Structure 1
C-alpha cells in the first residue's frame, strides 16, 4: 500500500529548499506519495509576527540555514529579491506583496496538476541555490518551471483566470496545517502526526517504516 504524507511548503523558507532533495529521494526510493500543500509564509500569514518575535531569531536562522547547506554540500544563496517585501530592521511587512502570492498560487496550481514536488523544488533551487540577481526577471522562472515539466505562461494564464479559487485552496492548506498541530515549514504530516523541520526527515522515515513503508 502506498503511504501518503502531506508536505506543507513555503517559498520563502530556506529550510524547505534544504529539505527538498532528501524528501524527493524518500519518495523516489519508497512506495510513498508526498502531497505538496503550499502555504503563505508567516510574515504575511501572521500579521505583525516579525515585530514581536525575539530579535535573535532572524540572525540565528540565517546562520543556521547557511551551515545546514554547508553540511549537506548544497549551493546556498539568499534570494534576490526576497520573496517577501519587508523592512527587516523594523519587521514591517507592507500589504503589497508582488512575489509571494504569485509563487504560492503557482505552487497550488502545480500541486493540483500532480507536479507539486517537482515544481516547488525547481523554484526553491532557483531562489536559494542559483545565486541569481533578479530571479523574477527575464526567463529565469520560466526555465525553472520548465525543468519541472510545466509551462509558466500557461500556468500564469490559469492563475489569472482562477486566482480566487487558488487562494481558497491555499487558505485551506493553512487551516489543515494548523489542525495538524504546527505552523511552520517544512511540515510533514503522516496520519495526523506532524514532523516539523528539515531535521525531522529521519524521524518521519522511522515512523513510516513502522507503518510498513516498502522500498521501491
Structure 2
C-alpha cells in the first residue's frame, strides 16, 4: 500500500504554488498518495491576522517569495489580478467570488482523483506570470484539461452546489488546525505536521523512515 498524507493548500499562497510540482513529482516517482484538502487563504478566513503583523513582515515576505522562486527556478509574478479582492479602503470584503470558486474547483478536482495535478496546473496559470486575467477566457479550462479533468463538468458541479463545496472547505480548515497549524502549504503525514514549502525535504525524509519506495518503472 502507498504511504498517504494530507495536503492543506491555498490558491492565493505563493509558497503553495512553489511546493506543488515537487509533491506531484514525489507521487509520480514513489508509492505515495496525496489527499488534497484545499482551504481558503488567511485573508478570507482571518483578515485581521495581517493587521497585527510587524511592519517589516511584508517587505521581507515580498523579497523572500521572489528569491525562493528564483532559487527553485520557477517563473513567478504576483497574480494579475490577485485571487483575493480588496476594497478601496484596503480591507478584504466578505464576498470573494474568485478565491471561493477556485478553492471549490480544487475540492472538485480532488474528488475526481486529480487534485494535485490540478493544483499544479492552475497555480502555474495564476502565479507564473505567463497569463494576465487568469479568471477570464479558457485559462482555467485548459489547466484542468492538462490535469486530466473535464472542466465544464467540474465547473457545473461547483456552480450548482456552492454550499456543499464551502462545507468541505470548512471541514478541511477545522482538520488543518486540529493537525497542528493554520498556514499553507501544510503536509500532514502520520499525524505529524510539516508547515511550509521548505519542509518538503523533511517530509520526504520522514516518509523514507516509514518505508517510502519507488514506483516500478520510475
TM-score (normalizing by structure 1): 0.95
Q: Which residue of 1 aligns with 2:134?
A: 135
The aligned runs of 1:162-173 (5 Å cut-off) are 162-173=161-172
* Separation in 2, partners of 1:27, 1:153: 26
The aligned runs of 1:102-141 (5 Å cut-off) are 102-141=101-140
1:138-187 superposed Cα distances (whole Å, 9 cap, x missing partner): 11121111111112222121112221111111000000100000011110
Displacement, 1:59? Answer: 2.2
Is 2:20 the partner of 1:27? Answer: no
The aligned runs of 1:15-54 (5 Å cut-off) are 15-54=15-54
1:101-152 superposed Cα distances (whole Å, 9 cap, x missing partner): 0100110111111110011111100001143221111111211111111122
2:78–2:129 Cα contact (<8 Å) kept:
no
1:12–1:41 Cα contact (<8 Å) kept:
yes
* Separation in 2, partners of 1:144, 1:34: 19
Q: Which residue of 2 aligns with 1:12?
A: 12
Displacement, 1:188? Answer: 0.3
Gaps of 5+ in 2: none
Q: Which residue of 1 aligns with 2:84?
A: 84
Supply the RMSD in Å over aligned alpha carbons.
Answer: 1.5
1:50–1:91 Cα contact (<8 Å) kept:
no
1:177–1:183 Cα contact (<8 Å) kept:
yes
The aligned runs of 1:152-163 (5 Å cut-off) are 152-163=151-162
1:11–1:124 Cα contact (<8 Å) kept:
yes
TM-score (normalizing by structure 2): 0.94
2:69–2:75 Cα contact (<8 Å) kept:
yes
1:48–1:92 Cα contact (<8 Å) kept:
no
* Separation in 1, partners of 2:149, 2:129: 19
1:78–1:131 Cα contact (<8 Å) kept:
no
Displacement, 1:91? Answer: 5.1
Gaps of 5+ in 1: none
SS at structure 1 position matched to 2:144: helix
* Separation in 2, partners of 1:45, 1:194: 20
The number of equivalent residue pairs is: 215
